[in-house]
């Protein structure tokens, strides 16, 4: 499935942005959808995921309480509402799709949640988010 991420931009620290992930002609309800991000010089890291089967959501510790992932049935998108943005949130944000019913969440040795980017085959072109004053 070909995904498209949109909604990025420049925002001041403490501000908000809403990203959208869409796949023209495809129902995203048939996939669990994850958001990842990649800052310059860093590995792509997982941010959030929403289950295909029951809509349960998962968040990386770094964004928990500030970001919200949701499905917008009217727009046929999966959105990532980002609030209280920090400079360290600056990155290119990507959405990815997997046909599994559940997000492939793992628990790291330090008891955080994570999803390996290798679990996803379908990726969209990223959208740049820059948090700066």
* Euclidean distance between CA atoms 9 and 79, whole angstroms: 15
Burial class (CB in 10 A: 0-12, 13-18, 19+), 74: exposed
pLDDT in tens, the chain (133 residues): 889 999 999 999 999 999 999 998 888 999 999 999 999 999 999 999 999 989 999 999 999 999 999 999 888 999 999 999 999 999 999 999 999 989 999 999 998 999 999 989 888 899 999 999 9
Supply 100's token pair.
Answer: 């599994």
Strand partners, 6: 20
* Euclidean distance between CA atoms 97 and 22, whole angstroms: 10
Q: Which residue has the tokens 């992932």?
A: 69
Report yes or no: 26 and 1 within 8 Å, Cβ to Cβ.
Answer: yes
């Amino acid at each position: 499935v070909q995904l498209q991420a949109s909604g990025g931009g420049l925002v001041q620290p403490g501000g908000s942005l809403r990203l959208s992930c869409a796949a023209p002609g495809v129902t995203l309800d048939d996939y669990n959808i994850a958001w990842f991000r990649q800052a310059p010089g860093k590995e792509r890291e997982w941010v959030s995921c929403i289950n295909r089967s029951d809509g349960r959501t998962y968040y990386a510790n770094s964004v928990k309480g500030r970001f919200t992932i949701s499905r917008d049935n009217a727009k046929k998108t999966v959105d990532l509402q980002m609030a209280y943005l920090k400079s360290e949130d600056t990155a290119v944000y990507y959405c990815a799709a997997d046909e599994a019913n559940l997000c492939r969440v793992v628990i790291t040795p330090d008891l955080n949640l994570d999803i390996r980017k290798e679990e996803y085959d379908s990726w969209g072109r990223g959208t740049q988010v820059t948090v700066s004053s």
